[in-house]
Amino acid sequence: MKKNIKERVVLYNVNEEEKNLIKNIFLELNIDVNLIKAEDEEDVISSNLVSFIKLPNNEEKRKELEDIYISALRGWKLFYIIDDNFYKNIEEIKKQIKEYHDDYMRKNKKDSLNNVKDGIIGFAIGDALGVPAEFKTREELKKFPITDMIGYGTYGVPLGTWSDDTSMTLATMDSIIEKRKIDTDDIANKFLQWFRNSKYTATEQVFDIGRTTLQSLAKYEINMDEAKKCGQTGEMDNGNGSLMRMLPIAYYSYFKKFSDYPEKDYYESIYNYIKDISSITHANEISILGCYIFVMFAIEIIQGKLKDLSYEYIKNLDYSFFSREAIKKYDKILKGNIKEELVENIRTTGYIVDTLEAVFWLFLNSKDYDETLLKAVNLGGDTDTIAAITGGLLGMHYGIEKINENWKKKLIKCEYIEKLSDQFYNTLYN
């Protein structure tokens, strides 16, 4: 499934001196590359590693190529425009290329099957780490920080227990495995099996179910109406209960190759799936938008793209499916730079906007899996969901081999989660 982008660098409209400069960058980094001269803009668009382009003086042509730069973020590549800023930032560019190359080489050694496990196991461990600390304040956790996976705490459950976040994620995966497609009624039925019969739980015990989820599932159970019509729509129904189960949808969207569709159909297909799946429980536009932002970002990370480039990509997406009022709720992510926010400005409530801001802040500032997850938990608040969603992204980005081995051993039903991940991959891939 991965595109082979090793050693390919595309140059457009660059002179010999600029070509030699670029060649020396890769020599200095000890990266063996094949420099390819693009004949036209189409070659740049279709290229799949690093592209260097010098814009012409013609204003109209410059604007056209700048638009190509934005669309290029959808591809497997770094994209640099050779201008005065390029020369000023040459050392930073070298760092970006080195990070990108190292990350690609690491990920290219793994197959897509491992990538599914990376994300799902990373997610479940984040959930289990956060469960004992849920609802504790940041001040409490500063005095008595979580430094390892522990048991009991808030819910009195054993070490390695995961919550509704993982249960509903596994239920979603199991439905896709059985139906080989997204069937919102079947997903809702799987949720009822979890809620009523403790299926998909760590200890045959259901705990920590949110109000909006509970009301929506009750409505579906009583009326057996279309599940996607049962979600709550009020302003107060914008918790993170649908966001927390979106990771399988990111995988589904990636493996089903929606990216091969025409651009409009690509976005619309993913939007419609997200809208329907979120609306099983959370049907307010703000919730659907939060899920859409997350899924589009996660698809980039699944492909092994750089964190910062993936962030730029989602900031430049077309959000015309949504109202201005809803989009404005996410201004810190979409208009500002959430990575640069002070920790004091990061809220960790169950409100979907707060949760997504915290996840982006943690992930974009991450250096590894373990320390970032402990940091997530020690922010306090809705620790299981924030750590779970962050853990899924971290797992995909850093790989399962970078996750604390003891945490994997302590995770209840880890083998079951891995087996379901394998089945999920096989369903999507075949």
Q: Binning pLDDT at 50, 70 and 90, where does residue 44 land? A: low
Q: Are 421 and 117 in contact (CB under 8 A)?
A: yes
Element (H or E) spanning 257, and its range? none
Q: What's the pLDDT score for residue 96?
A: 82
> Is 3 among the domain residues?
no
Q: Please count the structural domains in the chain.
A: 2
Contact partners, residue 317, CB within 8 Å, separation at least 6: 267, 296
Q: Which residue has the tokens 């600029």?
A: 18
Last residue of a domain, one of 81, 108, 135: 108
DSSP annotation of 404 = -
Contact partners, residue 180, CB within 8 Å, separation at least 6: 427
Q: What's the pLDDT score for residue 75?
A: 47
Pair (197, 335) in one structural domain: yes
N residues, the chain: 430
> Is 176 among the domain residues?
yes
Pair (142, 206) in one structural domain: yes
Q: Are 255 and 1 in contact (CB under 8 A)?
A: yes
More confident residue, 17 or 240: 240
> Is 35 among the domain residues?
yes
Distance of CA 229 to the CA centre of its chain: 26
Q: What's the pLDDT score for residue 166?
A: 98
Q: Which of 102, 76, 103 is nearest to 2 (CA)?
A: 76
Pair (396, 416) in one structural domain: yes
> Is 238 among the domain residues?
yes
- What's 342's domain CATH number? 1.10.4080.10
Pair (131, 41) in one structural domain: no
Q: In one letter, which amino acid is 218?
A: A
Q: Are 103 and 306 in contact (CB under 8 A)?
A: yes
The residue segments making up the domain with residue 103 are: 8-108
> Is 416 among the domain residues?
yes
SS (H, E, C) 124-192: HHHHHHHHHHCCCCHHHHHHCCCCCCCCEHHHCECCCCCCHHHHHHHHHHHHHHHHCCCCHHHHHHHHH
Q: Binning pLDDT at 50, 70 and 90, where does residue 53 land? A: confident
What is the tens place of the pLDDT at every residue in 227-278? 999 999 999 999 999 999 999 999 998 887 654 555 567 788 899 999 999 9
Q: Which residue has the tokens 């056209």?
A: 64
Pair (124, 104) in one structural domain: no
Beta-ladder partners of 36:
10
What is the tens place of the pLDDT at every residue in 278-297? 999 999 999 999 999 999 99
Q: For a pLDDT cut of 70, what percent of the chain falls above it?
A: 85
> Is 406 among the domain residues?
yes
Q: In this structure, which long-range contacts are made by residues 370-373, counting pairs with CB atoms below 8 Å and at least 24 apart in sequence?
A: 370/402, 370/403, 370/404, 370/407, 373/125, 373/126, 373/129
CA-CA distance, 289 to 270, in Å (whole number)?
12
Pair (263, 325) in one structural domain: yes
Mean pLDDT of 134-160: 93
Pair (100, 128) in one structural domain: no
> Is 52 among the domain residues?
yes
Last residue of a domain, one of 77, 108, 139: 108
Pair (254, 368) in one structural domain: yes
Pair (140, 35) in one structural domain: no
Pair (83, 121) in one structural domain: no
CA-CA distance, 120 to 161, in Å (whole number)?
15
DSSP annotation of 353 = H
The structure tokens listed for 19 are 């070509």
The structure tokens listed for 409 are 């051993």
Pair (197, 256) in one structural domain: yes
What is the tens place of the pLDDT at every residue in 164-206? 999 999 999 999 999 999 999 999 999 999 999 999 999 999 9
Q: CA dist 85 to 80, 82, 247, 414, Å?
A: 10, 8, 37, 49
Last residue of a domain, one of 69, 85, 108: 108
CA-CA distance, 196 to 199, in Å (whole number)?
8
Q: CA dist 84 to 54, 69, 80, 91, 309, Å?
A: 11, 17, 12, 14, 21
What is the tens place of the pLDDT at every residue in 314-356? 998 999 999 999 999 999 999 999 999 999 999 999 999 999 9
Q: What's the pLDDT score for residue 225?
A: 78
Q: Binning pLDDT at 50, 70 and 90, where does residue 2 land? A: very low
> Is 1 among the domain residues?
no
Pair (102, 171) in one structural domain: no
